[in-house]
Structure 1
Amino acid sequence: MSAPAATAATDRVPAARIPGSKSITNRALLLAAAACGTSRLRAPLVSDDTVAFRHALAGMGVRISAGPGDAYWDVTGQGHGPVGGGRVWCADAGTAARFLPPFAATGDGAYEFDGSGQLRARPLAPLVDALTRLGVTVRAAPGGRLPLRVAASGVWGGELVVDGGLSSQYVSGLLMAAPLMRSPLTVRARDLVSRPYVDMTIALMRHFGARVDDLSAGRPGEEHGQGAVRIAADGYRAADLDIEPDASTASYMLAAAAVTGRSVTVPGLGHGSLQGDLRFADVLRRAGALVEVGEDATTVTGTGDGRLRGGFEVDMGEISDTFMTFAAIAPLSDAPVTIRGIGHARLKESDRIAAVATNLAACGVRTDTGRDWITVHPAEPRAARITCHRDHRIAMAFSVLGLRVPGITLDDPRCVTKTFPGFHTELRRLFPAAASAN
């Protein structure tokens, strides 16, 4: 769809107020902290996870100041890894636990990383293994988990194969630390999930001046994040950045439009987006919604009765943060829907496949599940109390189903503050009639 059409759509339909991307905000915070000079990050996400990441960096000696109303954050980096050591609290933020230890390793001092009980339960073994093979002295809790201790004295580069089968964040964390190493680093990811997030990391590294060479260019079937990349040990330079709206968060408002028969536009997310999760709009298109993607906006319009078209399978492995959004509304389809490639979602804030299946069962919806897939059958869902497992994405996904099913409630509505503190207010603003019925 051309940009003028998307702009016209913005004039016709409500525009969703989506906060900044968590993935971009936290990556940009780290890259700016590693750069030499002061970078301005405009429209950052202000949420539990990004504030935790910011505070963790401040505890490592990085100077960060906020503009009026957090309209921007100024980050002053020293062009090298942190020095002095200390205890780094990651709270619930998985990105902090996976991005900051490699950054610390390039500096000097003893660092201890820890977090909440929920974060302690999430695996770090592939990262521990990779750092150890780079010569870093690392000690983790049994099973390769927090608390994690890093004795930092700089890192030599070299060649590294990283297990990306559990999370792409291990790969991203190592890539972002590479320009601060003493020699170039070549990384090849094995069994990588969520490759678009690694592509995002590489694009942002280049924005901050890193030299990243794709060694797989011209090799069939290999792209950034799947084949090998070589990162020069040239450091970073300060750069300003406008943070895009969060595509994962936008999925809830786009899905809500699809199931209420209304239209919603998300400004700031279009063809040029760095975020792979915008592909969620393609899933809604397969389910029968009208989707318009322009240069700088995306609009979704639902069918008149808000019914969805089922009878298909979709691999959402590369956009797994949005699979719950679709699974929660899939009972409104006219035939079963199977979502595949999402096994790594069992290792997030909750076992997300199990959490979705259990909550749909409470709503009277039949599901079938396997190690990395779920099939959702058509149903007339009933009211239920949703068990959120302190997982923001479970809460937001089932809130969308609640627009069609009176009586759906959440046991922990506040957990959305992890990424979208204003979620409930914005959902009511965009869909007042449906929300008031619940």
Structure 2
Amino acid sequence: MISIDFQSKNTSQQFSLPGSKYIANRLVVLAALTNGESNFSNVPDNDDIRTAIAGLTQLGAKFEFSDNQLRCQGFGEELNAPTEVVYTSHSGTFSRFVVAVAALFGDWIHLNGSAKMNSRPMADILDALSQSGVVIEASEGGRLPLKIKGPIQTDSISISGAISSQYISALLLIAGRCRQGLKVQLTTEPVSKPYIAMTLELLNIFGVEVQVAKDYRCFEVSAGQAYTPQTMQVPADPSSASYFLAYAAITASHICLSNFQPELSVQGEAGFAKVLAQMGCKIWQDELGYHCQGPEELVGITVDMGDMPDVAQTLCVVAAFAKGKTHIHNIENLAFKESNRIEDTATELRKTGLEVTTSADSMTIEPQVMHAACFDTYDDHRMAMSLSLLACRIKGVTMCDPEVVSKSFPTYWEYLRKLGFITDKIGKE
């Protein structure tokens, strides 16, 4: 448990951000699928990326990772299944991606995750792969741990897009390695379309062409396409940026993110600053970087967060200090993240005296006079990072298990200390 206090150092701060874990997660898979060497810089060093590197190494790729520089030698043409269990830890993204990668292999591959990961849904992608000729022996409810034996036998797969866009991204990432090509047909409207767009953009960079229907319900990859090794820099992470933009909004201060270029990102969370602008923040960009100036008074809004689900919790915290209610909707899939990010976030915010109402796909935050609270993090990195910002305006905030930030942003608490936060008793007691 830690205590979190805030003593502002000054009203203006500037720094750079780690690379996007969403892009990095896709890059390591794509690089592994090549027959050559790829090199990436500004790769975030977090638990999820380390887990992906370890798992793909077991499957035959070779990695060198140091000082945010990553070198990867791909599988090549010959795929050899490992005899040991591939461990996916807490990573939902890698768990979904590696199931698809494993479906390329012709021998049994055993996959297992943490207890928390093993409780999360996987049935949609497992059912889709099973229908394509992949043999899968999964735990009850279509969950990890499981055994899987490929390869994919058909040239078409149907899958729901209602729960997670990661299922669609997983299939698209490996489609170019399918012997007969692959058509991915969605039986529902997909959630989180920007993440699919990100996958498509990266596939294009690696030389894999995808035919995309206008309604984003059908994707077709022809056979015989080679994945071309790449050298590139991972752009700054929009979800990580959200916490510092929110800090400026809450404290009526100025922040400059020197390496953040949201206009170049297809990730939905890159639009978070525009949401803050609706609440009264001033946003601009110049040669120094991307700027946010918080207003004297924030105003509540109604906003669709369907395209930027991973910053919905950040917005909830900003909304706590606004004048008037904030209604956040189209967030149904938040219930299937590392925690139930609708109900669990509401529970934690209510501890401070806030009035929070929820439905299956929405949250409404009505500001009240707030008081100190001890927050649980639910083994959810975004819960910890979002709730920490309440300490900007509330004295006496404490938090259990702050170490969960290591999943995506291990240096998060160091960044907060640069802003004037004081944290004591970091680490498990």
TM-score by length of 2: 0.92
Q: Judge which range, 227-236 or 27-36, deviates more.
A: 227-236
Of 171, 175, 188, the match for 2:172: 175
Structure 2 match to 1:34: 33
Aligned twin of 1:6: none
CA distance in 1, matches of 2:423, 2:219: 52
Give yes or no for the alignment of 1:284 onto 2:276.
Answer: yes
Displacement after TM superposition at 1:273 (Å): 1.8
Alpha-carbon contact 1:79-1:235 (below 8 Å) kept: no
Aligned 8 A contact 2:60 2:75 in 1: no
TM-align CA RMSD: 1.8
Residue 243 of structure 1 pairs with residue 234 of structure 2: yes
- Give the drift of 1:412: 1.1
Residue 237 (structure 1) shift: 1.1
Please state if 1:227 is matched with 2:217.
yes
Cα distance 1:267–1:188, how it changes in 2: closer, same or farther (>3 A)?
farther
Aligned pair in 2 of structure 1 residues 135, 437: CA closer, same or farther (>3 Å)?
Answer: closer
Equivalence map 1:90-109=2 (5 Å)? 90-109=88-107
Query: Kindly tell me: are residues 205 and 296 of structure 1, through their superposed partners in 2, closer, same or farther at Cα, counting changes over 3 Å?
Result: farther
Equivalent position of 1:45 in the other structure:
44
Give the distance between the partners of 1:122 and 1:142, measured in 2 at CA: 11
CA distance in 2, matches of 1:200, 1:323: 19
CA deviation digits over 1:276-309, x for unaligned, max 9? 21111111111111112569942211013xx311
Q: Which has the higher helix share?
A: 1
What does residue 191 of structure 2 align with?
A: 193
| Alignment CA distance shift 1:23-1:308 (3 Å) | same
Alignment of 1:347-426 (within 5 A): 347-426=336-415
Partner of 2:8: none
Count how many residue pairs are aligned between Structure 1 and Structure 2.
Answer: 410
Q: Tell me what 2:295 maps to.
A: 303
Which 5+ residue runs of structure 1 have no aligned equivalent?
1-11, 217-221
Structure 1 residue 63: deviation in Å?
0.6
Q: Which segment is superposed worse, 188-197 or 26-35?
A: 188-197
Contact 1:80 1:106 in 2 (8 A): no
* 8 Å Cα contact 2:249-2:295 kept in structure 1: yes
Counterpart code for 2:113:
G
Matched letter for residue 325 of structure 2: P
Q: Return the offset for 1:38.
A: 0.2
Q: 1:345 maps to which residue?
A: 334
Q: CA deviation at 1:78?
A: 3.0
| Cα shift at 1:80 | 4.0
How much does 1:20 deviate? 1.2
Unaligned runs of 5+ in 2: 1-10, 425-429
Deviations 1:190-214 (A, max 9, x none): 2211110000001011111111122
Distance in structure 2 (CA, Å) of the matches to 1:303 and 1:344: 31
State the distance in 1 between where 2:29 and 2:200 align.
Answer: 13
Runs (4+) off by over 6 Å: none
CA contact (8 A) 1:112 1:147 kept: yes
Output the amino acid matched with 1:400.
L
Equivalent residue number for residue 275 of structure 1: 267
Q: Please give the alpha-carbon distance, in whole angstroms, between the structure 2 residues aligned to 1:361 and 1:172.
A: 35
Matched to 1:235, the amino acid is A
Deviates more, 1:156-165 or 1:141-150: 156-165
Amino-acid identity (%): 32
- TM-score, structure 1 normalization: 0.90
Cα separation, 2, equivalents of 1:178 and 1:205? 10
Partner of 1:180: helix, strand, or coil?
A: coil
Tell me, in whole angstroms, the C-alpha distance in 1 between the residues paired with 2:15 and 2:369: 28
